[in-house]
Structure 1
Amino acid sequence: MLPPALKEWDTQCQALASGQTALIVRKGGIMETHDGFEVEHRRFLLYPTFLHQNGAELRPEFHPLVRPDPLPGTLTLPALAEVVAVWKIEELERARKLEPYQALTAAAIERRFAYRNRPWLHAMLLRVSPLTPPLQLAETPEMLGCLSWVPLEGMTLPELGASSKPEAELQALHAELTDLLR
């Protein structure tokens, strides 16, 4: 069975699937529990979305990845992501330090940090494995709109390619981010 899918800007999904990044900064798509923060799903498909994607909020090196929806009405899921680590960040200066590690500009990180007057955000380090081939589905009305998690049913997971970042690089990045965010 397919795991759920997490909507993320198409450009960020491309950067994750290709190994250019392994970190995303999120305000939504996560929940708090009585025991503290938990990711709603520890394993999920990347759902590239073009809704609200804003090239001005991406660092310049990611601008070449910005594109219009290549197949409107068809959802192309490029990869499976597994959560390696999650950090809740409650200080803006610490949040700004994440800029070089992911696709968003410092201004975009700051905007997400302050969204709805709730000063915090989460950074998720992901192990991303491309699907070979990418999975294509018809986009249904239930999938559209401003929701983060999309349940997917009725299909099996295609074969996974090798992780887009070698495990040693991913573990080094984990250690570096852990030190940075203390």
Structure 2
Amino acid sequence: MLTPALKEWDTQAQALTLGQTALLIRKGGIMETHDGFEVEHRSFLLYPTFLHQNPAELRPEFAPLLRDDPQPGAIVLPALAEVVGVWKVEEEAQARALADLQALTTDAISRRFAYRNRPWVHALLLRVRPLSAPLVLPETPQMLGCVSWVPLGEVAVDAGQPVLAEKTLEGLQSEIEARLGMTTQL
């Protein structure tokens, strides 16, 4: 079975792995298909990337997580993520209403919302389970580029307990649904 990985800014991958957030606002990379980012997988490894990571687009409380790439030429995958909820948000005000639940600034959310003149983003609520030991893989040419999903091939991982309790995730899901006025599209 091929294991997928989702590229995300290193700071956000750290915040998810540490349980500081469980929500991602996604638009997709410049090399995504015409329709943009789609939630293709319900379970995947977090693939921290330093490419295009912009400190100005992160909320100040996440700034302490900014760092240089600790292992250039290698990918250090810290955790397994499972999709708890997904929403395609097609109103900018609704997307901005989620700002305090994740790591991006409201302006960054607005830029992603309007990117490529496609007015929408995906909000993903994730159950994150740190790996017992980070999976370290050599970075190959097939992993490069501005894409969201990277097939890793067959890899074995040992994931621990979720960083957030199930009750906490249920509460976040209820809060997101209330702010968006819609239920998850899973």
Aligned partners of 2:11 and 2:62 also within 8 Å? yes
Match of 1:53 in 2: 53
Q: What letter matches 2:172 in structure 1?
A: L
- Paired residues, number: 178
Higher strand share: 1
Q: What letter matches 2:55 in structure 1?
A: G
Q: What letter matches 2:116 in structure 1?
A: R
- TM-score normalised by the chain length of structure 1: 0.93
Matched, 1:172 2:156: no
Match of 2:85 in 1: 85
Aligned partners of 2:62 and 2:103 also within 8 Å? yes
Q: What letter matches 1:159 in structure 2?
A: D
Structure 2: gaps (5+ residues): 182-186
Deviation at 1:86, TM superposition (A): 0.6
User: What is the distance in 2 between the residues matched to 1:8 and 1:127?
Assistant: 15
Matched, 1:133 2:133: yes
Aligned partners of 1:32 and 1:38 also within 8 Å? no
User: What is the distance in 2 between the residues matched to 1:163 and 1:155?
Assistant: 20
* Residues 176 and 81 of structure 1, relative CA distance in 2, 3 Å threshold: same
Q: What letter matches 1:130 in structure 2?
A: P
Q: Aligned residues: percent identity?
A: 65
Deviation at 1:161, TM superposition (A): 1.2
Aligned partners of 1:31 and 1:38 also within 8 Å? no
SS at match of 2:75: strand
- TM-score normalised by the chain length of structure 2: 0.91
In the TM superposition, 1:1-182 aligns within 5 A as 1=1, 3-28=3-28, 39-156=39-156, 158-182=157-181
* Residues 98 and 46 of structure 1, relative CA distance in 2, 3 Å threshold: same
Deviation at 1:2, TM superposition (A): 5.3
Q: What letter matches 1:109 in structure 2?
A: I
Deviation at 1:97, TM superposition (A): 0.4
SS at match of 1:177: helix
SS at match of 1:160: coil
* Residues 41 and 16 of structure 1, relative CA distance in 2, 3 Å threshold: same
Deviation at 1:154, TM superposition (A): 3.5
Deviation at 1:3, TM superposition (A): 1.9
User: What is the distance in 1 between the residues matched to 2:111 and 2:34?
Assistant: 21
Aligned partners of 1:59 and 1:105 also within 8 Å? yes
Deviation at 1:145, TM superposition (A): 1.3
Deviation at 1:109, TM superposition (A): 0.1
Deviation at 1:153, TM superposition (A): 1.3
Deviation at 1:162, TM superposition (A): 1.0
Structure 1: gaps (5+ residues): none
Deviation at 1:163, TM superposition (A): 0.3
User: What is the distance in 1 between the residues matched to 2:24 and 2:33?
Assistant: 16
SS at match of 2:111: helix
Q: What letter matches 2:160 in structure 1?
A: G
Aligned partners of 1:87 and 1:124 also within 8 Å? yes
